[in-house]
Amino acid sequence: MKTRMTELLGIKHPIMLAGMAFISLPKLVAAVSNAGGIGMLNSVAYTPDQTKDVIKQVKSLTDKPFGVNATLVMPNARENIEIALEEKVPIINFALGKGDWIIKAAHQYGGKVLATVAIEKHARRAEADGADALIVTGHEAAAHGADVGTMVLVNSIARQTKLPLIATGGFSDGRGLAAALVLGADGISMGTRFMLTRECEMHERAKELCMKAGIEDTLCSEKIDGLPGRWLKNPAAMKMAQGKPSLFDALSSALRIKKMINIPLYKLFLGGLKQRGVQDLARQALGLQGLQVAIESGDLETGVLPISQAIGLMRDLPTCKELIERTVAEAQERVEDVRKNISS
């Protein structure tokens, strides 16, 4: 299936793996790229040296295009993107920050830059800065998004930009891909759906519990990691969504992040203050810790998971190749069925 997304990125199928902390690891990234999609490596929980190492791991597993993403308000984000630029990663994806410097640097070696946006203003700014495409995140998405649903947001931004659009938020199958194409997108990004694949290294118990969840088993809160986001409605997430971290929580959480990504405490606190204050720094650290616990141990009593509303549509664990190929085949079938029904 050829679209502007496949032509721009040099891939076979218009499907992208969302960059997810502790989930979008080299094995999964390479599996998606090898299957004809675009794998996106998440850099949020790495030091710059670790980022260089995992990029090299991906390169050893695939000769296909792949990307690295970063949420620019997070610690080490700039440093990790600079490493990706030095390594001439084919595709760079940034969110929650101004990426004009990324675009300029990537274009110097022929790289492409995707800007993740959740509101119209950010889409216009990214296009003005020279981004090559937009990842448009609707309210149904896991983790960070805004208030407007995918159907309205993609439709609106498609009317305002000439850039290729990659829709994300609530996509899990060919029906969703077909819908995105009709709305004006050129492909889709899936996160939760790729979590439930054989190549994903998330703990099997977490996968099993996710496959039992329904479309109403998520909650939205800005109190879990300091930014508005959607999470699995489990005991830990509900408790964190109601709580207010203390100064002690902020300090102990900061020490955990410092140990994880080897960042000076003063820089960590400055980053937290750039968001909304020390409490959000604590939430950021607690959210990362809870995410790591859920993914690595399968503990969904004390751990948290960012989850799409589409979780209720997922009931199997295919390989990435199986998932991508059946998604594209179903999308083509659905588009043809609609065409026949309209003709009749």
325 phi/psi in degrees, rounded to 5: -65, -40
Nearest to 40 by CA among 49, 62, 48, 50: 62
Q: What does the block give as tokens for 289?
A: 């810790």
| 84: three-class secondary structure by DSSP | helix
Apex CA 301: angle with CA 295 and CA 306, to 5°?
A: 45
23 phi/psi in degrees, rounded to 5: -115, -50
Contact 32, 320 (CB under 8 A): yes
pLDDT at 226: 73
Contact 23, 202 (CB under 8 A): yes
The contacts of residue 214 (CB under 8 Å, 6+ apart) are: 311, 312
Count of CB atoms within 10 A of residue 108's CB? 10
The predicted model scores a pTM of 0.90
Q: In angstroms, what is the C-alpha Rg of the chain?
A: 19
pLDDT digits (tens, 9 = 90+) for 68-107: 999 888 778 899 999 999 999 999 999 988 999 999 999 9
Q: What does the block give as tokens for 172?
A: 């899990």
Domains observed in the chain: 4-203+317-343 (3.20.20.70), 218-297 (no CATH)
Amino acid residing at 175 = R
Low-confidence ranges of the chain (pLDDT < 50): 277-278
pLDDT at 23: 92
The contacts of residue 209 (CB under 8 Å, 6+ apart) are: 298, 300
pLDDT at 292: 80
Which residue has 């799409």 as its token pair?
308
pLDDT at 339: 86
Q: Cα separation of 297 and 276, whole Å?
A: 31
Contact 167, 187 (CB under 8 A): yes
pLDDT at 286: 61
| 20: three-class secondary structure by DSSP | coil
Apex CA 52: angle with CA 48 and CA 57, to 5°?
A: 145
CA torsion 84→89→92→98, rounded to 10°?
A: 40
Q: Is the dihedral of CA 84, 85, 86, 91 positive or negative?
A: positive
The contacts of residue 309 (CB under 8 Å, 6+ apart) are: 140, 170, 215, 218, 230
pLDDT digits (tens, 9 = 90+) for 23-68: 999 999 999 999 999 999 999 888 899 999 999 999 999 999 999 9
pLDDT at 259: 61
